[in-house]
Chain A
Amino acid sequence: MSTFLGMPARPPRSPYGTGNLRGDEAFPRAAHHELGNGQLRRNLGRATTTIRAKRLDVTGELPDWEALRDAGSAIKTDAMNRLPELLEQLEHKVTEHGGTVHWARDSAEANEIVARLVKATGSSEVIKVKSMATQEIGLNEHLESVGITPYETDLAELIVQLAHDRPSHILVPAIHRNRDEIRQIFLDRIPGVDPELDNVPAHLAAAARAYLRQKFMTTKVAVSGANFGIAETGTLSVVESEGNGRMCLTLPDTLITVMGIEKVLPRYQDLEVFLQLLPRSSTGERMNPYTSLWTGVTPGDGPQGFHLVLLDNGRTAALADAIGRAALNCIRCSACLNVCPVYERTGGHAYGSTYPGPIGAVLTPQLAGMHAAADDPNSSLPYASSLCGACFDACPVKIDIPSLLVELRHQHTEQTGTTPEKLAMKAAATVMKRPALYRGAQKAAGLGRAVAGRDGTISRLPPPFSGWSDSRDTAAPPRQTFRAWFASDEGRAALRAAADEHDRGRTREEPDRSQDESDRSRAEDHRNHGEDGTA
């Protein structure tokens, strides 16, 4: 690989252990806790089933849905291919319109920049628009550590914050909570809340609103993320459902937006595609209720100070890799989470990262690395999938997540050196490429009959197969392999009988057969057919 002067061959990933891109334990262990939580599984199952059905309805009604997906994919791919150029254009335009652009290599830099900007305003509080980027870098924790209190204003994010919990879904951070739990959280944590509060959603929302309104009216600084940044005009955009985001984006004096560099789109008109793809894929709505767009500052209207923090945090590292580049196309709609059978059972916390679900399993190791030698929980993420492919079908920008997971698994095994698993895989490949050895191994497998019970099944297997036999019986291996049968007199006789049956059938079922033949196109078929008949 060639290296240009001054350009590192491998761009840095997000540093180990900062921000929220790594859990405390590997996926199977983390999932173990969640799988045992029946309430969580019921909450998740119900929520994802509802949202899946809604999504299918609203995507099905668009005759050009597939064309939109292609357009979305093409625009993102183009943007990733010329990211440096587009980001410079974005910086230029934001500056031209009175904003200030800051570049942050990683979470530590981004957190420092935001804290410094908040302090400069003299405020010790910020209101926050729901943002994945600030979750990723652990901004709230950092702000608190320097004496600034962040208030989440997205209802679900507020619930999570009040409960000192972590979000478990990109779009619906409190998807794992039901309304009884939410009522209790509000009763416990919102100062002065009506003790008679019941669990009716409208009442819960009203309680949150009363609490938040007071924050909107008094807080001078807001921090947001961005769904899109338009290079052509310097416009930033946030789409949301509740309008709380818009309050934050318009009421305070100062607005600080933290945006992952992959969120840039080339042209204003590209929004047309994504404002159709995103809400339909995420909430199953034709249009999200609030779409806010702002460009720099407008004297006398809205925040008079605007800062844009462009966050790398492993993104250029991802960009330098074919897999990572594809993963950066993600628009965080969460459709892949909602259709994922693994996510549906384990919930988002099992992934240990701000980005859970199928795309999280791809993106998290890309941004923060898989430090296999240190038993990094991130290295378990590419395996947290049955590769069923439902995510690929759902993704509005057609990211082939299963293939990316397989590629990441490959990267992981290439990095890990020799492991027992690798030795086993090598041994298996060696056996399988030598037919004589292979037949020997098949015989050995046949010995498994000896350990089968009277019903011909094996109910207990040794490690590493014990996870299998905890819930599944295994049928005893058969007496004879297929190849042995095929070569045997019995096999030959059975196939001869089948061929005879065909010949008899030909005269009896002439119309049907000729139909079959007319469907076939190759002239060769007839030649072989004739040979069969005379054999």
Chain B
Amino acid sequence: MRIGLFATCLGDTLFPDAVRSTAILLTRLGHEVVFPPGQTCCGQMHINTGYQREPVPLVRDFAEQFGDTSIEAVVMPSGSCAGSVRHQHATVADRYGDSALRAGVATVAAKTYELSELLVDVLGVTGVGAYFPHRVTYHPTCHSLRMLRVGDRPLRLLRAVDSIDLVELPGADSCCGFGGTFALKNAETSTAMLHDKLDSIATTGAEVCTAGDSSCLMHIGGGLSRIRSGTRTLHLARILAATRTTPDVLTEAAA
């Protein structure tokens, strides 16, 4: 399958490892990964902060970059960006766009998937041949959980990983407190939520906390680092891309 990869602005710039793992994983599963080079940002940060006029060009670019009919599916290693493309781009296009933009947005939204959705629903795989001999706990990010309804897809993928020790995260579905600019505008409340999440993670004794969103992991990982926790964060894509032959993402990342 020819799959358009959207790196997301955060993934491209700050967390390229998660995007790289996504590209490698899909290629290893036998798919052609294309990266439209004009892509930048889905505009989610703008929209969620209350700006719908400003991201119109971003929404238009996204529809154009991925509108190519030879791209059968669009994937991104981010539940919140997938949610924005699927649900918010239409709002922006309806408000400020012409009929061409509205149509373009609808076409692209219909073939847009977050990574676990693409793997399980479109590509029909849960066992991706990954090997990850570590204790892992999974935090379902709010937008994956409630905007996309990914359900247990990420967990099914993780359960199929060879040698993984998957432990349940207590209070998994409570928000970690990130919320984009919420973490800045309401930093103290965000921190209170983060600390409860860090406490839950601590009870699992996991080496790794994983999730499908680099943004939430940036927040959780930043908190873990600050309290000098032994647990670190790793995007779901990186666990799924780890194999016996290219095993050691943990040491590689630490290097």
Binding site for B on A (CB under 8 A): 27-28, 31-32, 35, 41, 341-342, 345-346, 382-390, 392-393, 406, 408-414, 421-422, 425-426, 428-429, 432-433, 435, 438, 442, 445, 457, 459, 464-465, 467-468, 470-475, 477-478, 480-483, 485-487, 491, 494-495, 498-499, 501-502, 505-506, 509, 512-513, 515-516, 518-520, 522, 524-525, 528-529, 531-532
Contact = CB atoms under 8 A, between A and B. Distances in A.
Given A35-B188, A389-B147, A522 B23 contact: no
Given A386-B182, A413-B51, A425-B51, 20 more contacts: A32-B188, A383-B181, A384-B186, A386-B177, A389-B142, A393-B146, A409-B49, A413-B50, A429-B58, A433-B57, A471-B194, A471-B223, A473-B225, A480-B16, A482-B7, A482-B16, A495-B27, A505-B28, A520-B124, A529-B30
Say whether chain A's binding surface is mostly helix, strand, loop, or mixed: helix
A31 B72 CA distance: 47
B16 A481 contact: yes
B27 A498 contact: yes
A502 B30 contact: yes
Interface stretch (B38-46, B99-107, B150-158): B38-46
A430 to B, nearest CB: 8
Interface in B58-107: 58, 61, 72, 88
15 contacts: A342-B193, A383-B182, A383-B185, A390-B146, A426-B54, A428-B54, A429-B46, A435-B40, A459-B226, A471-B226, A481-B13, A482-B20, A485-B16, A506-B30, A520-B1
Given A425-B46, A471-B194, A482-B11, A525 B1 contact: yes
Contacts of A505: 28, 129
B247 interface: no
Contact of A433 (B61, B184, B190): B61
B167 interface: no
A425 B54 contact: yes
Given A467-B183, A499-B27, A505-B129, A433 B40 contact: yes
A525 B23 contact: no
Contacts of B29: 502, 516
Nearest to A478: B16
A287 B182 CA distance: 37
A525 B118 CA distance: 14
Interface centre among A386, A392, A410, A414 (most CB of B within 10 A): A386
A491 B52 CA distance: 35
Contacts of A383: 50, 181-182, 185-186
Interface in B180-203: 180-195
Given A384-B186, A482-B20, A406 B48 contact: yes
B142 to A, nearest CB: 4
Contact of A432 (B9, B147, B245): B9
Contacts of A28: 185-189
A331 to B, nearest CB: 21
A516 B123 contact: yes
Contacts of A32: 188
Contacts of B185: 28, 383, 467
Contact of A385 (B17, B88, B143, B182): B182
A506 B190 CA distance: 47
B52 to A, nearest CB: 5
A384 B181 CA distance: 11
Interface stretch (B130-138, B204-212, B214-222): B214-222
Interface residues of B, number: 86
Given A435-B40, A481-B16, A506-B30, A471 B182 contact: no
A35 B192 contact: yes
Contacts of A519: 123-125
B189 A35 contact: yes
Contacts of B113: none
A520 B11 CA distance: 28
A426 B56 CA distance: 11
A468 B183 contact: yes
A411 B95 CA distance: 12
B33 interface: yes
B32 interface: yes
A181 to B, nearest CB: 22
A383 B180 CA distance: 11
A388 B179 contact: yes
B145 A389 contact: yes
B110 interface: no
Contacts of A524: 1, 72
A421 B51 CA distance: 10
A502 B178 contact: no
Contacts of A386: 142, 175, 177-179, 182, 190, 193
Contacts of A494: 20, 24
Contacts of B189: 28, 31, 35, 342, 345-346, 384
